[in-house]
Amino acid sequence: MALKKAKSQQSRLYDVIVVGAGMVGAAFACLLARSNTNLSIALLEARETAAFDPQQFDPRVAALTEKSRSLLNSCGAWDSIAAQRISAYAAMQVWDAEGTGEIRFDCQDVQQPNLGHIVENSLVVESLLAEVGKLDNIDFICPVSVAEYNQSDSQVSVELSSGETLAASLLVAADGGNSSVREQFKFATREWDYGHSAIVTTVQTESVHQQTAWQRFMPTGPLALLPLDKQCDHHRCSLVWSQESDEAERLMALNDDAFCAELGYASEHCLGEILAVDKRYAIPLRQRHAKDYVVERVALLGDAAHTIHPLAGQGVNLGFADVKALVEVLCAEAVRGNDLGSLMTLNKYQRLRKPENLAIMAAMEGFKRLFAADNLAVRLLRNMGLSKVNQIQPLKNEIIKQVMGL
């Protein structure tokens, strides 16, 4: 794949081309198309999307905030998601494995029906793409690969492997952490490996999950059990267990019974014994942030612009916040008749999102290092801090509101 100056040839013309039809890319295309029906959009995806299976749980889930739920509602997708399977959680229990420090957050403390929803990624994508299919101003092209990107002063063109060429004022990259668009347009990034992998799967627990997200912080990484509901069965949880790479490899090699035993011990049997486990996946963790989210005619969205540690479940919520900001900027500029792909337009999006994303990424990195610290004094202060914050209800309420996006 190569980036070249635009060729003089006949192309299918759009206002915006979106590369990547995952949760963030599909939400962006859908929200933009619904917000301005005069804009034409091409949505490209390299792989056939995995269908949601109501008979089993997707190992990849998202902990959606109220702001993210509202955005999906604006896309027209939330009712379909809620009708099939969502798991609202009312509380969050966080504790330190290296002491007695703990903190509990409860939705009742801020007069909310829940703290958020655990939703399977495949269900979100399927519901969004169903809405995309209803919109006349979106062409969804899948599966398709890009052979070449071309750029001129006035447009970007995309040559597909089929030989067809598409062109638009703006190219939006929503093609994930290993974004080919980011690479082709030579966006500089700051990135490093954590030396950790996240083990993700679904487990069955002896005790009911109590609509609570359970998170234990250990020196080797956090362990989260996120509540899942299926036909009134409250004994299922989505597991996200961050471990150093060698230890993750060892855990992945265990048979199911041995893994369940290790997980029960690591979680301090907060939900009793771990009775069963689905197929496990290990995902290498890497921190990445693009120094700029935009260049002339190209904008990065979601994981293509930034990836963070999953310890607070903020990744897709940051991506949806990017979606909302970019859609608002583009709709405002379209009404004024301005060029959607100009750097002047796109810089407005970057100014809205980059400072907030950097602040959250810095906070998550600090949080990770704090709980990884093995110094006795740090451990004592950490535990005292958790316990003290747990006693200050107004401060806890503000933390809840921030996490929920209220």
Cα dist. 250→114, 322, 371 in Å?
36, 37, 22
41-44 and 61-64: which strand pairing? unpaired
So what's the pLDDT on residue 315? 81
Longest dimension (CA), the chain: 68
Quick one: pLDDT at residue 7?
44
**CA–CA separation, 346 and 331 (whole Å):** 12
Interatomic CA distance for residues 199 and 201, integer angstroms: 7
pLDDT at position 6? 42
Q: Does the pLDDT at position 46 exceed 50?
A: yes
Cis status, amide bond into 143, omega within 30 of 0: yes
Q: Of the ranges 93-107, 160-174, 192-206, 371-385, which one carries the lowest mean pLDDT score?
A: 371-385
Tell me: pLDDT of 40 over 80: yes
Give the position of tokens 């598409």: 166
CATH topology of domain 2-404: FAD/NAD(P)-binding domain (3.50.50)
> Rounded CA gap, 262 and 251, in Å?
8
Burial letters for 302-340: b for 16+ Cβ neighbours within 10 Å, e otherwise? bbbbbbbbbbbbbbbbbbbbbbbbbbbbbeebbeeeebb
| More confident: 345 or 288 | 345
Tens digits of residue pLDDT in 98-137: 666 778 888 888 888 999 999 999 999 999 999 999 999 9
Q: Is the pLDDT of residue 322 over 90?
A: yes
Q: Residues 260-282: pLDDT tens digits?
A: 999 999 999 999 999 999 999 99
Taking residues 213-220, report their average pLDDT: 87
Q: Cβ atoms within 10 A of the Cβ of 27, count?
A: 32
pLDDT, tens digit, 9 for 90 and up, residues 278-296 = 999 999 988 899 999 999 9
Distance CA 233, CA 212 (A): 14
Mean pLDDT across the stretch 8-18? 83
Q: Residue 384: how many CB atoms within 10 A of its CB?
A: 13
What order of strands is seen across the sheet that includes strand 87-89?
A: 61-64, 116-120, 87-89
pTM of structure: 0.90
Rg of the chain over Cα atoms, rounded to whole angstroms, equals 22
364: pLDDT strictly greater than 70? no
Position with higher pLDDT, 206 vs 50: 206
The CA distance from 31 to 400, in Å, is 27
